[in-house]
Structure 1
Amino acid sequence: MTISNGWAFQWVKNQEMIEFFNFISPLLQLPNQKTLADEILKNTAESVQNNIEAAAKEDKYGVSISLDGWKNVVKQNILGLVITRLDEQVLIWQKILVEIVKILMQQLNILAHL
């Protein structure tokens, strides 16, 4: 919910949000910022990545990979990645700094062998 709403992780310290969640469920214990940004975010990202890989493997005819590059406002080179299945299900949309393209190329090599 935090990511999909574009909220900063500090919402868990907002008194109105605390009161709102206490009203909905008085027994609910909200995570702190650090737990939300570290443990929960990392576990969720890993789960999403596993689901994406599983969905890509399910398409017996392969996937289409589209790349696009641009520079952001601070002149960093960005590479966008979209992976689409034959049934037009979009699996990944990602923006990465070009400095980590080597990692991307390794991932593409793995996907090519799915």
Structure 2
Amino acid sequence: MPPSKHIRIDDDSASISSFRTNSTSSSFNLSRRSSESYYQSSISKFAVRDLNKSEIPKFHDLLIRITVSNGWSFQWVNNPSTHAFFHWLNPKLKLPDRKQLAGPILDQAIKGIEQLRKEKLNQVHEQAGITLSFDG
């Protein structure tokens, strides 16, 4: 039979009471300090917010990625359940419709992938010196 671990109850209760005393003391000091020096904002100000202009392309990129990686049709963004879910996440998020997702957003994603492909091919070509020849 493997050796069992012995737990000393008196050690645990001492550490628990020490933790309670220390955490109560530090939280009291923190709350007193925060009320004296500044007003603390609620988290809802940070969780529910508008996207700024620099975040919109990233949001669209993530939408196109989940669409393609899950094999969904572009119609999913027009589904009322999808709108309800995104509204629950952040009421200020505005989903594009399927025409925007399948049009300019997809076009932008394709341009980004093509640019990345070219960069990777140039890196490989510089390292390996690949030559292609076709018989035609």
TM-score range, shorter chain: 0.5 to 0.7
Structure 2, gaps ≥5 residues long: 1-65
Q: Which aligned runs of 4 or more in structure 1 are off by greater than 2 angstroms? A: none
TM-score with structure 2 setting the length: 0.45
TM-score with structure 1 setting the length: 0.53
> Structure 1: which amino acid aligns with 2:68?
I
Give SS of 1:7's match: coil
Give yes or no for contact 1:11–1:17 (8 Å, CA) kept in 2.
Answer: yes
Question: Which of 47, 53, 56 is equivalent to 2:112?
Answer: 47
Identify the residue that residue 33 of structure 1 maps to in structure 2: 98
After TM superposition, list the pairs within 5 Å mapping 1:87-98 onto structure 2: none
Distance in 1 of aligned mates of 2:103 and 2:75? 13
Paired positions, count: 66
Give yes or no for contact 1:21–1:28 (8 Å, CA) kept in 2.
Answer: yes
Higher Rg: 2
After TM superposition, list the pairs within 5 Å mapping 1:10-89 onto structure 2: 10-59=75-124, 60-62=127-129
* Aligned-residue identity in percent: 35
Structure 1, gaps ≥5 residues long: 65-107, 110-114
**How much is the aligned-residue C-alpha RMSD, in angstroms?**
2.0
